[in-house]
């Protein structure tokens, strides 16, 4: 059974049709590469999955539930997480605070005083997640802005995983990283897959897509024009679909 099932999704902005009847299924623990030229509709498609954009027509089913009309918070509560290209990290705040940004655990003193952020628990839970992922950072108390691009990407992944998602969507996670840092992100994607978490990887870096993904889906002008098993395709074929030269 599919974890995520998109049926005939349509989305327009004014007179511009961005999605034209997209159908896509993703199973639990499956890593899918979503590729396509700029303007193919990749980001719009992902935002219809997370609920940022309502669809004009079609259905989004997740974990055997119709979530088409649910807002982003309700979809996140059901297990859909997205890591955006800009990471949305707070550079001045430390690693631990970033992992819980906007969802900080609180506690009350003696059960009566106003609740306040439970920093000790934030630090403890953040350290557990960093240890579990095997992420190499000097300290969870460092401001995130002092970390490298690759370290910041792994913090964004740690933040997504802290809330036990069933699906993680990653938008160009390796675009600005050095080779060594790319590998640590690909290793984390493999770790998610091994834990049964589905991943949709949006990337222009086809080498990364071929390493991390079992399936490669090509979007062109708002339509899925290819859904390929990695073992049965190659980079040349994928590129020819992306540029519109295939078939």
Instruction: Give start and end residues of each alpha helix (H) in 113-215.
Output: 119-133, 149-162, 179-194, 206-212
Residue 106's pLDDT is 74
Residue 148 or 65, more confident:
65
pLDDT band at 7 (very low <50, low <70, confident <90, very high): very high
Single pTM value for the model: 0.91
Question: How high is the pLDDT of residue 223?
Answer: 96
Domain spans of the chain? 1-79+166-247, 90-164
Calpha distance 48→37 (Å, rounded): 19
CB–CB of 43/62 below 8 Å? no
The pLDDT of residue 87 is 78
Confidence class of residue 233 from pLDDT cuts 50, 70 and 90?
very high
Q: How far apart are CA 116 and CA 124, in angstroms?
A: 16
Mean pLDDT in residue range 183-210: 94
pLDDT interval class at 247 (50, 70, 90): low
Tokens of 201: 């990887």
- The whole-number pLDDT of residue 113 equals 64
| Per-residue pLDDT reduced to its tens digit, 29-74 | 999 999 999 989 999 999 999 999 999 999 999 999 999 999 999 9
Q: Is 9 in contact with 45 (CB distance < 8 Å)?
A: yes
- What is the distance between the terminal CA atoms of the chain, rounded to a whole angstrom? 31
In angstroms, the CA 100 to CA 242 distance is 37
Query: For the chain, what is the mean pLDDT?
Result: 92
Write down the CATH superfamily of domain 1-79+166-247. Answer: P-loop containing nucleotide triphosphate hydrolases (3.40.50.300)
| Greater pLDDT, 84 or 216 | 216
CA–CA distance, 204 with 22 (Å, rounded to integer): 20
111 vs 46 pLDDT, higher one: 46
- What pLDDT shows up at residue 245? 81
């Amino acid at each position: 059974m599919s974890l995520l099932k998109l049926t005939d999704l349509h989305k327009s902005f004014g007179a511009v049709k961005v999605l034209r009847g997209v159908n896509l299924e993703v199973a639990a623990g499956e890593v899918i590469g979503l590729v396509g030229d700029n303007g193919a509709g990749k980001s719009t498609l992902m935002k219809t999955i997370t609920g940022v954009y309502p669809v004009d027509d079609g259905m989004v089913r997740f974990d055997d539930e119709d979530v088409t009309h649910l807002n982003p918070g309700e979809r996140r509560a059901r297990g859909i997480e997205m890591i955006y290209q800009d990471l949305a990290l707070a550079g001045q705040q430390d690693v631990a605070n970033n992992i819980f940004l906007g969802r900080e655990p609180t506690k009350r003193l003696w059960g009566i005083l106003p609740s306040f952020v439970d920093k000790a628990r934030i630090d403890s839970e953040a350290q557990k997640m960093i240890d579990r992922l095997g992420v190499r950072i000097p300290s969870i108390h460092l401001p995130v802005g002092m970390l490298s691009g690759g370290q910041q990407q792994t913090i964004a992944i740690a933040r997504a995983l802290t809330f036990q998602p069933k699906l993680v969507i990653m938008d160009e996670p390796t675009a600005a990283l050095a080779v060594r840092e790319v590998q640590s992100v690909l290793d984390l994607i493999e770790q998610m897959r091994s834990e049964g978490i589905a991943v949709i990887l949006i990337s222009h870096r086809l080498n990364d897509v071929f390493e991390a993904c079992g399936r490669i889906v090509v979007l062109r002008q708002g339509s899925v024009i290819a859904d390929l098993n990695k073992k049965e395709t190659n980079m040349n074929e994928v590129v020819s679909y992306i540029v519109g030269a295939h078939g």
